[in-house]
Amino acid sequence: MNLELSEEQTAVRQLAKDFVDREVAPNVIAWDRAEEVDRSLVKKLGEVGFLGLTVDEEYGGSGGDHLAYCLVTEELGRGDSSVRGIVSVSLGLVAKTIAYWGSEEQKRQWLPGLTSGAYVGCFGLTEPGTGSDAGNLTTRAVRDGDDYVVNGTKMFITNGTWADVVLLFARSTDAPGHKGVSAFLVPTDTPGLTRRPIHGKLGLRGQATAELVLEDVRVPASAMLAPEGKGFSVAMSALAKGRMSVAAGCVGIAQAALDVAVKYATEREQFGKTIAHHQLVQELISDIAVDVDAARLLTWRVADLVDRGQPFATASSQAKLFASEAAVRAANNALQVFGGYGYIDEYPAGKLLRDARVMTLYEGTSQIQKLLIGRALTGVSAF
């Protein structure tokens, strides 16, 4: 693996750094307190090409490889995980999945809007009763002539209140377990689909998380993504790449934790010298630094495997598992460096910790990642 970035990768990383410093950093506290990122940012993310990374230019994408995508994701995560999540879901889980599984017509219908930021996408897998055990979801899609009629509830859907289209997973046949699940592309203004914002989140407070309720929602059969019964494969393939994106976002959080901890430690004085002079403060900082590097290397390895067309799902689970736990540790260590000020939201460490915490929960909890890795190593499913 060549750890040196190409000219193109270096340029896109710099573009993302500048974007975050200009468009995101000045607003982070306000968005967190208001529980809403300014929606006009989506258009700006589209204009700069971040919503079209890895997608073919033919469909409005901005091309680039998966390492470039991870570099941008890391920078967005460094700036604000709520912003990073918008891209990870609208591009990572929805547009990229349409690009991979979609018919020509579906690609032309959705990709130009999603990659330009004219549309926002959301990913509707989790339900109130089925989270980790997503293959047993209960949302039903019943065939009626040329349509399907969908009923069910989706829970914790990122971008939910903002989205123009939901990549929805529903049971369309009586085949047992995940074999009966199909994927559909459902415009969110379809009659019968209502959205309830979920407030009071510990972190990612700027993100538009929602519950989606579907009551007799009629979708044409042509809205099915991939063949009937393949929905769970669609979801798992999206999440395998999605976990790489979450890992990259976690590297961004950990890097931000390192940056703010070093800055604060070299400014704050106690016992007549900056706290950087105290060995135990240096321990906190060096622990963060090791977590940043290890998480980044695991994440880049996934991107490298994807870009070379190699199997990557287990590496992606490993990166997501390690990077999410590392981001929590790093943010917690940074908070410790800030002392009491770390507990106040005018200072950055507390938000980093709140935002990091969910990374060990979504797109498969840490326990689920361990089961996926364990299954790959032993050949035994322990779910």
Q: What are the residue numbers of the active site?
A: 363
Q: Which residues pair with 142 in a beta bridge?
A: 149
Q: Kindly compute the dihedral angle of the four CA atoms of residues 296, 297, 299, 303, in this order, to the nearest 10 degrees.
A: 130
- Mapped onto helix, strand or coil, the DSSP state of residue 154 is strand
339 binds ligand FAD (CB under 6 A): no
Q: Which is nearer to ligand FAD, 136 or 190 (CB)?
A: 136
By beta carbon distance, the residue nearest ligand FAD is 131
Q: Nearest distance from residue 235's CB to ligand FAD, in Å?
A: 8
Angle (CA) 244-152-178 rounded to 5° is 55
From the list 90, 126, 299, 316, which residue makes contact with ligand FAD (rule: CB under 6 A)?
126
- Mapped onto helix, strand or coil, the DSSP state of residue 175 is coil
125 binds ligand FAD (CB under 6 A): yes
123 binds ligand FAD (CB under 6 A): yes
- What gap in Å lies between CA 293 and CA 303, rounded to an integer? 15
Q: Nearest distance from residue 349's CB to ligand FAD, in Å?
A: 20
> What sign results for the dihedral spanned by CA atoms 43, 48, 50, 55?
positive
> Within 358-377, which residues bind ligand FAD (CB under 6 A)?
358, 361-363, 365, 367-368, 371
- What gap in Å lies between CA 36 and CA 28, rounded to an integer? 10
Residue span binding ligand FAD (CB under 6 A) among the ranges 8-16, 112-120, 124-132, 181-189: 124-132
- b/e string for 244-266 if b means 16 or more Cβ within 10 A? bbbbbbbbbbbbbbbebbbebbe
Q: Which is nearer to ligand FAD, 85 or 117 (CB)?
A: 85
Q: Which is nearer to ligand FAD, 27 or 132 (CB)?
A: 132
110 binds ligand FAD (CB under 6 A): no
Question: Strands (DSSP E) along 89-191, which ranges?
Answer: 121-124, 140-144, 147-157, 165-171, 181-187
> What sign results for the dihedral spanned by CA atoms 307, 375, 359, 299?
negative
User: Which residue, among 189, 41, 54, has the nearest Cα to 117 in the 3D structure?
Assistant: 41
User: Which residue, among 57, 58, 75, 99, has the nearest Cα to 9 in the 3D structure?
Assistant: 75
> For tokens 């240096």, what's the residue?
282
- What the block records as the tokens of 113 is 């809007």
Q: Which is nearer to ligand FAD, 62 or 158 (CB)?
A: 158
Q: Which is nearer to ligand FAD, 86 or 305 (CB)?
A: 86
From the list 95, 204, 238, 331, which residue makes contact with ligand FAD (rule: CB under 6 A)?
204
Amino acid at 361: L
CB atoms within 10 A of CB 376: 14
Per-residue x/- marks for ligand FAD, 28-57, CB under 6 A? Answer: ------------------------------
Number of residues that bind ligand FAD (CB under 6 A): 23
Per-residue x/- marks for ligand FAD, 52-91, CB under 6 A? Answer: -------------------------------------x--
From the list 11, 39, 290, 383, which residue makes contact with ligand FAD (rule: CB under 6 A)?
383
Amino acid at 327: A
Per-residue x/- marks for ligand FAD, 157-186, CB under 6 A? Answer: xx----------------------------
From the list 27, 109, 132, 282, which residue makes contact with ligand FAD (rule: CB under 6 A)?
132
Residues in contact with ligand FAD by CB under 6 A are 89, 122-126, 131-132, 156-158, 201, 204, 209, 358, 361-363, 365, 367-368, 371, 383
